[in-house]
Amino acid sequence: MSETTRPSTLASAEQLFAPIKRRYQKLTLPVSGLQVRIQSLNERELSTYQAMTLAKTGSFKLSKLEDANRRLIVLCLVDDAGNRILNGSHVAKLEEWDSADTAYLSGECSTHVGLRADEIEGLVKNSSKTSVAD
């Protein structure tokens, strides 16, 4: 954004810390044809999700890297009222979904919450250079 298109006043602390307004998006899964709704995450939720891939020693948990896409789907899928429709027990059940649907949905969730594909790829690449906790 150029200087000429920016607002003339800077945001105040009060504006910066106003309650979060979730963003939502409806998607149609490419294989099953099911329509789903995803939500944005706040910083705490995203940080907790990212931290779950690390062991206390700072090394990567291989099992958590392997199910990272499914865990993100669980965090993002909501109903029309914005309530999560899945929980942690559904992570393993998502293994049985068509991989094209999970790949599409996790990609859309990543984009919607502000994760870049290169960040996730970096985690996976770094896990091969770092000791693995599992």
Name beta bridge partners: 132. 60
Q: What is the pTM of this model?
A: 0.77
Give the span between the Cα atoms of 57 and 17, in whole angstroms: 33
Q: How many angstroms separate the CA atoms of 104 and 59, rounded?
A: 28
| pLDDT tens string 86-95 | 999 999 999 9
The pLDDT score that the predictor gives to residue 31 is 98
Which pLDDT does position 53 carry in this prediction?
A: 73
- pLDDT digit string, tens, across residues 7-63: 679 999 999 999 989 999 999 999 999 999 999 999 999 999 888 876 666 666 666
DSSP-based three-state secondary structure for 22: coil
pLDDT at residue 75 tops 70: yes
